[in-house]
């Protein structure tokens, strides 16, 4: 196989794996509470990310079998066989997970041409293009990858701290872009932004309209992630997953075009 194509496939496999992990987390969240507003919002963002990846893999063609499978995941059949809209979010997640798993299976098959369209380009890093400080973007991208890896390997403390570090960095970047004078006018405390606590930065960003109230879902241990305590507060799997989900929601607030 052509080395360039193989590199593209490996890049997409990593991206698909990340989407599958996120989808499983969100399905568990909605299964526990189907009316959870935070979970519904997080699922919507995940669906959009899945759609972007499917579009890239299918070369932008709606006729591609993967693109058709993606569209069909949102449909439910009436008793007369007609397609109507209206599927429960958890069921949509399950269907989209199946689509992603089919894409992985196709990319890893040795006896056939993979799903990847000949017109597809490798996914360019774009998670943090909204960050104004360009030097931070590759650092945040790497940290995001590491937080996912830590979660998958059961290192929940590291996963939570990394997610919170990214969250604080992108909120701080937005606050600095807004400017201290404008922030003070909206009720922010005096002093340098760098001196504010994590909680203060979140509160100021919410009052300034930079983010919505997604951070309300952060577990208590996340809000004190950089405060040294003795003994250290335990971090559960749920804590780590919630921190990662909140991060994705706030990323969407700061980058509505994602």
Q: What is the pLDDT of residue 120?
A: 54
- Per-residue model confidence as pLDDT tens digits over 2-36: 666 677 777 788 888 888 988 998 888 888 888 87
Mean pLDDT of 136-145: 88
In the chain, domain spans: 3-108, 136-254
Give the pLDDT band of residue 177 (cuts 50, 70, 90).
very high
Tokens representing residue 98 in the block: 């199946």
User: Would you say residue 231 has pLDDT above 80?
Assistant: no
H helices of the chain, in order, are 3-32, 37-57, 65-72, 89-108, 136-152, 156-178, 180-185, 198-207, 220-223, 237-254
Tokens representing residue 228 in the block: 């040294």
- Per-residue model confidence as pLDDT tens digits over 69-94: 998 888 765 545 554 455 678 889 99
- Per-residue model confidence as pLDDT tens digits over 146-170: 888 888 788 899 999 999 999 999 9
Mean confidence (pLDDT) of the chain: 83
**Rounded Cα gap, residues 33 and 79, in angstroms:** 28
């Amino acid at each position: 196989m052509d080395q360039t194509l193989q590199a593209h496939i490996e890049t997409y496999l990593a991206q698909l794996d990340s989407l599958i992990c996120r989808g499983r987390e969100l399905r568990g969240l909605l299964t526990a509470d189907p009316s959870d507003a935070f979970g519904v919002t997080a699922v919507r963002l995940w669906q959009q990310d899945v759609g972007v990846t499917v579009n890239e893999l299918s070369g932008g063609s709606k006729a591609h079998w993967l693109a058709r499978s993606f569209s069909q995941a949102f449909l439910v059949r009436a008793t007369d066989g007609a397609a109507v809209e209206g599927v429960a979010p958890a069921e949509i997640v399950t269907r989209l997970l199946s689509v992603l798993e089919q894409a992985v299976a196709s990319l890893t098959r040795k006896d056939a041409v993979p799903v990847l369209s000949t017109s597809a380009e490798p996914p360019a890093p774009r998670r943090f293009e909204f960050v104004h400080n360009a030097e931070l973007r590759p650092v945040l991208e790497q940290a995001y990858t590491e937080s996912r890896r830590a979660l998958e390997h059961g290192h929940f403390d590291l996963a939570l701290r990394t997610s919170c570090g990214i969250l604080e960095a992108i909120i701080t970047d937005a606050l600095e872009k807004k400017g201290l004078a404008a922030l003070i006018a909206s009720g922010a405390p005096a002093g340098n932004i760098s001196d504010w606590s994590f909680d203060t930065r979140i509160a100021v960003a919410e009052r300034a309209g930079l983010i919505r109230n997604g951070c309300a879902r952060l577990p208590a241990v996340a809000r004190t992630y950089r405060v040294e305590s003795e003994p250290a507060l335990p971090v559960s799997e749920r804590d780590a997953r919630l921190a990662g989900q909140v991060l994705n929601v706030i990323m969407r607030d700061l980058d509505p075009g994602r």
